[in-house]
Amino acid sequence: MADTGTASGRQTGIFVDFATCPAKYKHWRMDIDGRVARLSLDVQEDQPLTPGYELKLNSYDLGVDIELYDAVQRLRFEHPEVGAVVITSAKERVFCAGANIKMLGQSGHGFKVNFCKFTNETRNAMEDASANSGQTYICAINGPAAGGGYELALACDHILLIDDGSSTVSLPELPMLAVLPGTGGLTRLVDKRKVRHDHADFLCTTSEGIRGSRALEWRLVDQLSPRSTFDQAVAEKASEAALKSDRPASAQGIELTPLERHIGADQVHYENVKIDIDRDLRVANILIAGPTDAPPSSLEGIHSAGDKFWPLAVARQLDDAILHLRLNESEAGTWVFRTQGDGGQVAAYDDLLVEYASDWLVREITLYLKRTLKRLDVSSRSLVTLIEPGSCFTGTLLELALAADRCYMLDGEFEDDADSPKAPATVLLTGMNFGPLPMVNGLTRLEGRFLGRPEAIEAIRDKAGSELDAQAALNLGLVTFIPDDLDWEDEVRLALEERASFSPDALTGMEASLRFGGPETMESKIFGRLSAWQNWIFQRPNASGEHGALQLYGTGAKTRFDKNRV
């Protein structure tokens, strides 16, 4: 999972690998019984991601959550028969103590924030499965659930708490650590579970937690059961949820095989995604290759292709690439996207996703593309798209241009291509641009681009299926600038150099504020507040200073807070 001293891990001092599989799990057990899966947390104290702390009381670090994310993905793709997933603890009389405090105390600021972001995205994937995949998540709290442990429960659709007089739910980060629950706990309390403001305030300012009937009365849990009947109550609830699932009990899942990936000093290459890092300019150049083969001619062909089906293969590779760049290449502050291939082929694959949208596997592929693009949206990086001759910014791949902070499209051809001319750059919209791939605020990227202007979206919809040249794309508002060959190199170079000259902190704040206009959802609130409040609080002396709560936790020394409100 981790290796120190690698070239790509130079920014964090550790290389984090997000690729794993059940045979490699150290901290989770996955069991399948008919329509119900059980994920049991059994953290090995002496197996942290990095040395320097012990994972006591089922506390977790990034390595634990990488396994959980992998398990969630595999349950969706490899087990169509599963209609309900139970999250519980394999340890007696303890559920989960949350994120490991020693790990947070010894981690740098960037690692802490990326850790919180990834754990949020993993819990969002669980909620997405419950809401859209017919795979309901149920949490069986069989011991104290503190901090991130309770936040894991909050990501589930139904929470059962063992009523044994000692098991509690708590969010003690504020009184104990001078930080906030990092994985959306505050927002999920009031937005998702509709917990009263005053009740939530009490919960979050007491370190003892709340148990039994009060937890139920305050909507902190959904069900109580004594220890003698707890397992039976969990089984009954899981069976009830599984019966409501529309997932096909007799279908055959597809295996998520290991990604083929080569990591060099300045490159990361997958089959369809290639990253080359310009360290002087602090730019990650990302090239996505379109499909080389025609799409399958039937739904059976999609299932037979398995994880080699181009949209799924691209989603997996881009997902891993984003996570790699976030954690292992923090100084590559600008991501520049290019594509290469046949836009008509991309459109043909998109048409399949739309035509067979009701099929369980096609649904999962589309949802995975949605989650991957959301992960891109909320990454604290400047996003630039370059649309050139030979590009295939069509449909799903056009979403990269719509997500970008800047999009440049060449007007005409490159003079250097005279000996082997390429067709001028074009873009093409498909049905995937009009609903299946929303952002965290619930809007499509087109809706977010043209807030309050439905006529602009209708004008774009009228052009769906037609190749649009640079001037047409500019007129419709799909791109930012359309330099010709004479100006292209200078305009792009100056834009990237300018970006590299700015404060990364200020850019993060600006980009997070500008990308998500319009309505808020629980998901957009979680990421917006994570980028602002948690990012700021993690850096304050009261939390992370030499005498801060994170540093003194477990030492017996009492923190003396700077009492000034800022």
The correct CATH number of 262-510 out of 3.20.20.20, 3.90.226.10, 3.40.50.2300, 3.90.1150.10 is 3.90.226.10
Partners of residue 394 on adjacent β-strands = 428
Q: Per-residue pLDDT for 12 more than 70?
A: no
Q: Are 234 and 88 in contact (CB under 8 A)?
A: yes
* Residue 290 CA, distance from chain mean position: 23
Identity of residue 229:
T
Confidence at residue 9, expressed as pLDDT on a 0 to 100 scale: 43
63-84: pLDDT as tens digits: 999 999 999 999 999 999 999 9
Domain boundaries, the chain: 20-241, 262-510
| Topology given in CATH for the domain delimited by 20-241 | 2-enoyl-CoA Hydratase; Chain A, domain 1 (3.90.226)
pLDDT, residue 10, reads: 45
Q: Is the pLDDT of residue 536 over 90?
A: no
Q: Which of 395, 469, 463, 404 is nearest to 435 (CA)?
A: 395
- Between CA 534 and CA 544 the distance in angstroms is 12
Neighbours of 50 (CB within 10 A): 19
- pLDDT tens digits, one per residue of 361-382: 999 999 999 999 999 999 999 9
pLDDT of residue 565: 83
pLDDT at residue 423, as a whole number: 81
Q: Is pLDDT above 90 for 13? A: no
Average pLDDT over residues 386-398: 97
Say whether 262-510 and 20-241 share the same fold: yes
Both tokens assigned to 457: 């979206």
Q: Cα–Cα distance between 317 and 372 in angstroms, integer? A: 10
pTM, entire model: 0.95
- Minimum mean pLDDT range among 10-14, 48-52, 67-71, 529-533: 10-14
Rounded to the nearest 10 degrees, how much is the dihedral formed by the CA atoms of 533, 536, 537, 543?
A: 170
The dihedral sign for the CA sequence 510, 512, 514, 518: negative
Give the C-alpha distances (Å, rounded to integers) separating 441 from 22, 278, 299, 343, 380.
33, 33, 31, 28, 17
Q: Quick one: pLDDT band at residue 562, thresholds 50, 70, 90?
A: confident
List Cα–Cα distances, 345 to 289, 349, 391, 393, 421, in angstroms: 11, 6, 12, 11, 20
Q: Where is pLDDT greater, at 421 or 104?
A: 104
356 pLDDT band, cuts 50/70/90, is very high
